[in-house]
Amino acid sequence: MIAHLEDVIIQTVCRILIPFIQVYGLYVIAHGHHSPGGGFQGGVILGAGFILFCVAYDINEAKRRLSEKLDTVFCSLGLIIYSGIGFTCLVLGGNYLNYSRLGRILPVDPVNARSLGILGIEIGVGITVMAVMVSIFLDLVSRGKHEEGLG
């Protein structure tokens, strides 16, 4: 197979850039209310940061940071957050995904409770999209064997 190429320039630049990329992804998720952005966009940016790490370093290094089992748990965690907020609204007496009912357990009025509900489900969607991007990339790039580097 192709030998793994350890290039000093690529590794140094990625080591500097990846924290900024991840902070920018969190910024895009959190500011979905006031500027273009939201859950999907921020999740893709977070996933792209992790894929850049996989490209620059070895795949085994990346799997030491985020193993496949933890990645699959994150895929489901985002959906559980989304449906969990919907079920909480159902239990509190309204329709499914009617966020104004969350104003009964949170100390805000119903209009701002909708805003907080929107933030909650955007966080869930961002976690799921990040985990799915990383999972599909790790599956496709190593063809299932998961034991050799990217080269």
Partner 1 sequence: MELIISKYNYWVYIILMMIGFYAMIGKRNLVKKLVGMNIFQTAIILYFVSTGAKRGATIPIVEHGHGEVAHAIQAAHYVNPLPHVLMLTAIVVMVSTFGVALAIIIMLYRRYNTLEEDEILELRK
Partner 2 sequence: MKPLALIAVLMTGILLLYGTIDMPNWGDPDSPASIHVSPRYIEKTVEETAVPNVVTSALADYRGYDTLGETVVIFTAAMACILLIRRPRK
The one among 34, 93, 145, 147 contacting partner 1 by CB under 8 A: 34
The listed partner (partner 1, partner 2, none) that binds 77, CB under 5 to 8 Å by sort, is: none
85 neighbors 117 (Cβ within 8 angstroms): yes
Between residue 95 and residue 124, which ones bind partner 1 under the rule CB under 8 A? none
Q: Are 57 and 15 in contact (CB under 8 A)?
A: no
Binding status of residue 145 toward partner 1 by CB under 8 A: no
Tell me the C-alpha distance between 29 and 3, whole Å.
38
Minimum gap (Å) between residue 22 Cβ and partner 2:
20
Q: Which stretch binds partner 1 (CB under 8 A): 31-39, 87-95, 106-114, 115-123?
A: 31-39
CB of 146 to partner 2, least distance (A): 8
Burial class (CB in 10 A: 0-12, 13-18, 19+), 20: exposed
Q: How many CA atoms lie within 13 A of 130 on its CB side?
A: 26
Going through 23-144 in order, the beta strands assigned E by DSSP cover none
Candidates 18-26, 78-86, 94-102, 138-146; binding stretch for partner 1 (CB under 8 A): 138-146
Question: Among 134, 148, 17, 146, which Cα is nearest to 66's?
Answer: 134
How far apart (Å, rounded) are the C-alpha atoms in residues 90 and 75? Answer: 24
Residues that bind partner 2 (CB under 8 A): 32-39, 72, 75-76, 78-79, 82-83, 86, 97, 99, 111-112, 114-115, 117-118, 121-122, 124-125, 128-129, 131-132, 135-136, 139-140, 143-146
Residues that bind partner 1 (CB under 8 A): 34-36, 40, 129, 136, 139-140, 143-144
